[in-house]
Chains A and B, each alone.
Chain A
Amino acid sequence: GAVVSQHPSWVICKSGTSVKIECRSLDFQATTMFWYRQFPKQSLMLMATSNEGSKATYEQGVEKDKFLINHASLTLSTLTVTSAHPEDSSFYICSARNLLNRGLWDTQYFGPGTRLTVL
C-alpha cells in the first residue's frame, strides 16, 4: 500500500513552453500533497504544499505564478511549470500524506519523480 505515481517520468521541452506534471496517490486518499525540487547532488527542497480543494501554500522564494498547483481531488495534484526556462531544469518529486494517518504522527510517501529538461 501507500503508492504514489508521477507522470511523466521525464520530459524535455523548449524554452517558453509549459509543462504539466501529475502526482497521484494510487491506493489511499491524500488531503495534502507536497511538491519538491531537487538539483543534482543536492537535497530536496520543498516548493509548495497542496491541499485538496484549496489554494496551495508556497515556500518563500517560489513563484506561485510560475509553478501552478492544482489539487482537484483526494488522489490527484498537478504542478504546471509555466514558460519554462533552462534554469527550471530539475528533478521534481511529489509526496502524499495519507488521510487515514492524519494527525501529528504520520508519514509521507513519495512519487518516483519527474526529470524536467528545458532546452
Chain B
Amino acid sequence: GIQVEQSPPDLILQEGANSTLRCNFSDSVNNLQWFHQNPWGQLINLFYIPSGTKQNGRLSATTVATERYSLLYISSSQTTDSGVYFCAVVLRETSGSRLTFGEGTQLTVNP
C-alpha cells in the first residue's frame, strides 16, 4: 500500500524560529492534507493541498505531486504551535476518501 513518511520525527525550536516539515509519499495521490494535533488530541485542518502552494498566516505549504513530496513551513514559531503535525494522503486509485496518515512530526516550541 501507499507509504507516507514524515521528517523529522521530532523537532525542538525556540520561539521565533522558522522550520520546515517534510512529507514523502510513495504513489500518486488525489488528496493531501496537513493537520495539527493539539495537546488535547484535536486534529485541526491546516491545508488541503494536493498540488501547488498555499499560505495561511505564518504557515505555508507546497506540494510537488510529480516528485511525491510536500513541505509545511512554519515561520516565527510560537509556543502554541507545539503539537504533532500529520500529513495524510488519499491514493489516486481509490474511489473514496480513505486517508493514510504519516507518523507525524512532534514539534515543541520553547519560550
Whole-angstrom distance between the Cβ of B24 and the nearest chain A Cβ: 15
Contact: A43 with B42, CB < 8 Å? no
Whole-angstrom distance between the Cβ of B109 and the nearest chain A Cβ: 19
What B residues does A106 contact at CB under 8 A? 31, 97
Whole-angstrom distance between the Cβ of B49 and the nearest chain A Cβ: 10
Contact of B45 among A38, A97, A107, A115 (CB under 8 A): A107
Contact: A112 with B40, CB < 8 Å? yes
Query: Main SS of chain A's interface residues?
Result: strand
Contact: B45 with A109, CB < 8 Å? yes
Counting chain A CB atoms within 10 Å of each CB, which of B50, B96, B100, B104 scores highest?
Answer: B96
Contact: A32 with B101, CB < 8 Å? no
Contact: A105 with B50, CB < 8 Å? yes
Q: Other CB < 8 Å A-B pairs besides A32-B96, A43-B104, A44-B86, 16 of them? A: A34-B97, A34-B98, A44-B43, A44-B101, A45-B101, A46-B98, A46-B100, A49-B96, A95-B43, A104-B30, A105-B30, A106-B31, A108-B33, A110-B45, A112-B41, A113-B42
